[in-house]
Amino acid sequence: MRRWLRYAAVAAGLVALTVIVGWGLLDEAGRQGLLLAGGVALAVQLAAFGILAVQETGSPGFLGAWVGSTFLRLLAVVGVVLWAATRDELDTLVTSLTLVGLLFVLLLLEPWALREAPTDRSNGTERE
């Protein structure tokens, strides 16, 4: 649980930073796409990381979770891009590029967050 909370805090911070920076650079349709992409990317990545975090790294279950989380990201990108393409109030290019970019950056954070936390050898609990 500690890994997931650490990942969630950093991921939420990066998504918020992306939205703050992009907000001043985009028109209204771009801002709406930015908000949509940020929210979807954060939700999908937190779910995907949660699936991975409960598996032991290197186990067959971990590989299955990794494949499943990759498929989840693919479904999110395809679904959001197709949905955004039907909406006039969204800039499809901004939405799709923001979503893919955030998913990629947040994916790169996973190995950092999956590192084993140091354990206290006296009682076997995590310490940080």
Structure confidence by residue, pLDDT tens digits, 28-55: 999 999 999 999 999 999 999 999 888 8
Q: What is the pLDDT of residue 35?
A: 96
- What would the 3-class secondary structure string for 49-114 be? HHHHHCCCCCCHHHHHHHHHHHHHHHHHHHHHHHHHHCCCCCCHHHHHHHHHHHHHHHHHHHHHHH
Q: What is the pLDDT of residue 115?
A: 81
Q: What is the pLDDT of residue 50?
A: 92
Q: What is the pLDDT of residue 116?
A: 63
Q: What is the pLDDT of residue 120?
A: 45
pTM assigned to the model: 0.84
Mean pLDDT by 10 residues, the chain (128 residues): 90 96 94 96 95 85 90 96 93 95 95 69 52
